[in-house]
Amino acid sequence: MITGKTKIYAIIADPITQVRTPEVFNALFEQKGLDAVLIPVHVGVEGLDALVEGFRRMKNLGGFIVTVPHKSAIAVICDELDDAGRLIGAVNTVRREEDGKLIGNMFDGLGFISGLKSQGYNPCGKKTLLLGAGGAAGAIAIALAEAKVATLTIANRTPEKAQNILDRVAQNYPELPLSLGAPDPKGYDLIINSTSLGMNDGDSLPIEPDLLSPEMMVAEIIMKPETTALLAAAKKRGCSVHYGRHMLDEQIRLMAEFMGVRA
């Protein structure tokens, strides 16, 4: 039951229908007995500044989650960034202080690595191909370096964006072999799709599935559909697969605590 005392949280995205965050957070609120609700907000780039200004003025707003394509833009709008958000230059969680100040941080990377480990896969020592160069990719790249992958290659349609992430990683992990590459999975142990390709029917695949082989792990960060076309193709090739929901499941606690959610 939503009342006048209900604490409001939100997730912003474009598109929005694929997100699982409302189901997960609202189940958490119910489990903890909290008078709180998280709602989906569909906003494009052109409406982002106006929406955030409205959020600043909402005195019953505790914070909001950020996903595609707004993670980098919101980092610029925030008043302060915690360590991960500042290092990556993107955020996926924002806390609203009582005075309207917005504090952002990024939990995608930690959530992704924790998700892999929760399913029994340790990325340490793995030759890794990361597809995409958005906000989530930046966070995952830093987390992969922290997890001590053997090598890290990033492939993206805009090479400059991928290089920017590689430069950030190199500044903090100079010993890790880094490269800008093509979306070719041959020779890699772990292939991660951090692009939005796979959210919609008819999307092209981010890699050529015939190049996959059974010893590879293919991982998604897309939540819906749970089994993307890429994962379905990887299964047919005998690969191990890792679902996007594991990243969200593992970072929910961190995101909730950051926004001040208390049992």
**Catalytic residue positions?**
71
Q: Do the two domains 7-106+251-258 and 109-247 of this chain adopt the same fold?
A: yes
CATH of 109-247, one of 3.40.50.300, 3.60.20.10, 3.30.2290.10, 3.40.50.720: 3.40.50.720
pLDDT, one tens digit per residue, over 40-71 is: 999 999 999 999 999 999 999 999 999 989 99
Q: Give domain limits for the chain.
A: 7-106+251-258, 109-247
Q: What is the mean pLDDT of the chain?
A: 95
CATH 3.40.50.10860 for domain 7-106+251-258, yes or no, is yes
Mean pLDDT (whole number) for 30-35? 95
Tokens linked to 204: 């092209």
Bridge partners of residue 52, in order along the sequence: none
pLDDT, one tens digit per residue, over 65-85 is: 999 899 999 999 999 999 889
